[in-house]
């Protein structure tokens, strides 16, 4: 589940950008636009499926010592979408440069594991927190709560390595 969940989170974080590429025909009209649109839709569907599976997973109680919201960082993530639009052109070299830029940004997001901070999760009402458990383990917490008390006890399920999503108690 860990690899699939990370892939779903990463791919779906690019869904808005891919949709915009499709609408604007950034890589050309016809099949490139259809491919961008299809990838955008497929990544969102994959995210929904992973979320459903994660919600049905085994939950457990988790006690937090401290936490910090990372919601404001979504704008930084989203700003990386703006740069490609400054380069929209029908020139082949510009299209290649745009593709290289997207690959580089994707690699940086993967290496930094910041794809949990992504616009679709926030739009869906999921907030991202960096937290530390009672035993001192750093984790990422995804929850619908806008505010999480510093010493909270939450019912969660694992979405990935050191990444937890708050779920309803059975």
Report which DSSP code applies to 158: E
Q: Strand, coil or helix: what is 168?
A: coil
Q: Mean pLDDT over residues 57-68, rounded?
A: 87
Give the model confidence (pLDDT) of 29-60 as tens digits. 889 889 989 999 999 998 888 878 776 767 88
Residue 54 vs residue 14, higher pLDDT: 14
pLDDT-based confidence at residue 155 (cuts at 50, 70, 90):
very high
pTM check: above 0.85? no
What is the structure's pLDDT at 86?
52
Q: Rank 13-22, 69-78, 97-106 by mean pLDDT and report only the highest.
A: 13-22
The rounded distance, in Å, linking the Cα atoms of 15 and 77 is 13
Q: Mean pLDDT over residues 148-153, rounded?
A: 89
pLDDT-based confidence at residue 83 (cuts at 50, 70, 90):
low
Give the model confidence (pLDDT) of 93-137 as tens digits. 777 877 787 788 778 777 776 667 777 888 888 888 989 999 999
Residue of 140, 165, 139 lying closest to 154 (CA atoms): 165
The counts of H helices and E strands in the chain are 7, 5
Is residue 18 within 8 Å of residue 43, measured between CB atoms? yes
Angle (CA) 18-127-48 rounded to 5° is 50
Residue 149 CA to its chain's centroid (Å): 24
Residue-range domain boundaries for the chain: 2-166
pLDDT at 88 over 70: no
Close Cβ partners of 69 (under 8 Å, ≥ 6 residues apart): 127, 128, 129, 148
Residue of 34, 9, 37 lying closest to 106 (CA atoms): 9
Q: Are strands 153-160 and 163-166 parallel, antiparallel or unpaired?
A: antiparallel
């Amino acid at each position: 589940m860990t690899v699939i969940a990370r892939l779903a989170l990463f791919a779906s974080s690019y869904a808005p950008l891919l949709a915009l590429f499709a609408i604007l025909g950034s890589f050309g009209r016809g099949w490139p636009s259809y491919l961008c649109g299809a990838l955008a839709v497929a990544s969102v569907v994959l995210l929904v499926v992973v979320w459903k599976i994660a919600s049905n997973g085994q939950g457990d109680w988790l006690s937090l010592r401290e936490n910090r919201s990372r919601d404001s960082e979504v704008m930084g993530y989203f700003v990386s979408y703006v740069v490609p639009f400054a380069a929209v052109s029908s020139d082949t070299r510009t299209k290649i440069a745009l593709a290289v830029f997207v690959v580089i940004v994707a690699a940086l997001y993967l290496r930094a594991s910041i794809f949990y901070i992504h616009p679709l999760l926030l739009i869906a009402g999921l907030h991202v927190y960096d937290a530390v458990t009672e035993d001192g383990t750093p984790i990422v917490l995804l929850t619908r709560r806008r505010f999480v008390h510093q010493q909270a006890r939450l019912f969660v399920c694992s979405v990935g390595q050191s990444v937890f999503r708050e779920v309803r108690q059975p």
